[in-house]
Amino acid sequence: MMRTKVFENWAVSMKDSPGHMHRKIWEWAFIAQALKERGMLQDGKLGLGFAVGTEPLTALFANHGPNMVATDLFTEAAQAKGWVETIQHASGFEAINQRNLCDDSELRRLVEFKFADMNHIDADFHGKFDFLWSSCAFEHLGSLEHGKKFVYNAMHCLKPGGYAVHTTEFNLSSNEDTVETGDTVLYRKRDIEDIINTLRAQGHHVEMDWHEGNGYADGHVDLAPYVHDTHLRLQIERYVVTSLGLIVQKRY
């Protein structure tokens, strides 16, 4: 995807370099393209973003016309996790439009900002949204199981036929050993398969592509302290990790 015109267009739209081989750019482009292809990024649609932090997606999507609720963790909880100090937490409109991707008045017209806990989704969100997204967020909920429960519970927020698009950390090194608890957990293939099987058993439709990529950048593993120039794969503890995307349509 990263060498396609589609990816380049999204990268430019986010004011990034189209040749920047970084997994965060891939994640954002993946989410954007998945929602665009399914007709979600247009007037009349209502979206919900979880843990939006300082990512560009809310402002990017606003340029296409949907109304949205953008959420992030309560500031006190985010401070305890270190997200505020590392500038990965959103506390309002300034954070979600740091790249100046959208006119500020238009952003405020289309977007409502709220605090939300992904481990305890407010029932007021249930059944209201045409689409929702999270970008490498549910691996930070404390455990593999907490992340799985978020994916399942988030489906309650969608209208029938609505779409959820998520990205998360994917363990390429092992389908046995991994980081199961802590600030950042790593999902194995079997964990993702469990998520997919559970969603399908609940009647939802899941699209999944397991292709890991075979370009020159896919052979490079960025080691801490990360350089980020070529950052499709990185090492976390003893595991090689990349990003993985899920597209889920809620049952009708």
- DSSP alpha helices (H): ranges in 124-188? 144-154
Please tell me the predicted confidence (pLDDT) of residue 214: 83
| Banded pLDDT at 91 (limits 50, 70, 90) | low
Tokens of 141: 């909920």
Note the pLDDT of residue 129.
98
How far is Cα 4 from Cα 9, in angstroms, rounded to an integer?
Answer: 9
pLDDT tops 50 at residue 78: no
Nearest CA-CA partner of 234 in 221, 244, 252:
221
Which residues share a beta bridge with 49? Answer: 70, 133
For the stretch 126-164, pLDDT in tens is 999 999 999 999 999 999 999 999 999 999 999 999 999
Half-sphere exposure of 98 (CA within 13 A, CB side): 15
Of the candidates 95, 100, 106, the residue with the CA atom closest to the CA atom of residue 73: 95
| H helix runs in 169-212, sequence order | 189-201
25 vs 232: CA distance, rounded Å: 9
Is pLDDT of 49 > 50?
yes
What pLDDT band is residue 212 in, cutting at 50, 70 and 90?
confident
pLDDT of residue 89: 41
Euclidean distance between CA atoms 18 and 12, whole angstroms = 6
- Tell me the pLDDT band of 58, cut-offs 50, 70 and 90: very high
Rounded distance, CA 105 to CA 219, Å?
44
Tell me what the pLDDT averaged over the chain comes to: 92
Say whether pLDDT at 32 is over 90.
yes
Beta strand residue intervals within the chain, DSSP E: 21-22, 46-50, 67-72, 111-115, 129-135, 142-143, 158-171, 181-182, 205-207, 221-222, 230-231, 233-236, 239-249
Higher pLDDT, 216 or 62: 62
Q: Indicate whether 198 pLDDT > 50.
A: yes
pLDDT at 75 over 60: no
Compute the distance between CA of residue 117 and CA of residue 19 in angstroms, rounded to an integer: 35
Q: Is the pLDDT of residue 59 over 90?
A: yes
The tokens describing 215, both together, are 């370009």
CA distances, 211 to each of 80, 165, 191, 242 (Å) = 36, 18, 17, 12
Q: Provide mean pLDDT across the span 38-66.
A: 97
Q: What percent of the chain has pLDDT over 90?
A: 84
pLDDT at residue 76 tops 90: no
Q: In this predicted model, what pLDDT tens digit does every residue of 163-178 receive, in sequence order?
A: 999 999 999 999 999 9
CA distance linking residue 137 with residue 61, whole number of Å: 18
Neighbours of 90 (CB within 10 A): 27
